[in-house]
Structure 1
Amino acid sequence: MRDIDKRVIEAANDREQISDLVKEYEFFILSSARKTVKGYLSKDMDEWSVALNSFVEAVQKYEFSKGSFISFAEKVIRSRLIDYYRSQNKFKIESNLDEIEEMPDSKGPNLDLQMEIEAANQKFRKYGFSFFDLTECSPKAKKTKQSCEAAVAFMMKNPVLISNLKQNGQLPIKIIEKNAGIPRKILERHRKYLIAVIEILTGDYDFLSEYLKNFKEDAGK
């Protein structure tokens, strides 16, 4: 019987001991999570919180009959992260971003693309939403998509407006509505999506921007 297995059994109902185990096995938790994520992972990401909670769950539910605690904890962390991805519909965004999915080979998601997604996600947080919120606010109807493309094209031709957007975090809805003739209702409903597209097209996102070719073309007209 490994020492860690005995310690975990003893710590199951002791918050202080669990806290000590978390601190001691922090690298293990991060490493186990990265095996599932198969890419970049930092402590300010949601995946880290999921992995941390999973480790605590593993400590509380572990029994000697389950074998090695380390192996058991890895399984719990992996299982909870997979559940999280499914609930968030991760790497599968509708509309122009719906092609961002796990690569067909055994290497998992394209790591460069994944890193861009995480970087973009950090950027979007200052606006009050995440990359994965785009599933709910992306345009579905053809006319709505065209309106969104026109809104982005207008913004791309007005760098001052883009600069103001990045400084104050506010999409200039009134200005777009007046000058581009796009209904306010559409702009408000798809605000997050429009901001995300503008940030991607004006940022250092080579892979993500490839999924927005139609926006690039409209902006260049």
Structure 2
Amino acid sequence: MHGLFINKKKNVIDTSSTALVIKKIQNGDIRLKEEFIKDNVPYIIRTISNILGIVVDDRNSEEFSIGLAAFNEAIDRYDSEKNGNFYTYSFMVIKSRLFDFIRRNKKHSNVLPFSYIEQSTRVEERLLTCDSSGQFEKIEVRQELTSFEKNLKEFGISLEDLVLSSPKHRDSRLLSIKIARIIADNDDIFKKLAEKKYIPMKEILKLIKVNHKTIQRNRKFIIAVSLILRSNLYDLKEYVQGFEREGKYNG
């Protein structure tokens, strides 16, 4: 079975063969499914490692179990006409399930996955095929990530800064996201933020009761989240919205 999915000469994924194999699996070939998953374990591990920004080498870890289950889910739900490239689709499913996990898990929940931004272009280059499938989407994502990083630099913020300065406590994180939401949803406030390169403290304090020192302390995080909420970075935006839902339902 090895070699069925990868064209070694071109070092790209054979999308047509993959789609046919998945079709057979969906028609009930359990043994083929087991072999297909086994062949793709290195891909699953690599995907998890890149999304989380850590090295995942333990197949008994929770992260691997979630990635494996997500890959299995992708196989079951895949529709070649709707979803295009299977590996692009499975990558998105794995990423979505991991984001759900790290929102709930204390080990990963201290910060937003800003390492995802740093590695996204390299991840896509390794995991997406070289054919036309998904190319326009890939270009748009790269452009959006580049624009986001450029915007951050205008505020004197780097991705490394965000990892170090992100609120470590749940309540502080939720409050900072709430402030960022106020900025993003208010056109006048967001415009002033974008033009003046600082958080309009006076306007915000009229809309929410919070100590101004809290805003100053979490300034970089608040600005970054505000930019995310006004961007087309759907994965990070979904991640932020997950925190908002957490705050709404868990108090």
Q: TM-score range by the shorter chain?
A: 0.3 to 0.5
Give the TM-score of the pair, scaled to structure 1. Answer: 0.47
Point out the structure with max Rg over C-alpha: 1
Give the TM-score of the pair, scaled to structure 2. Answer: 0.42
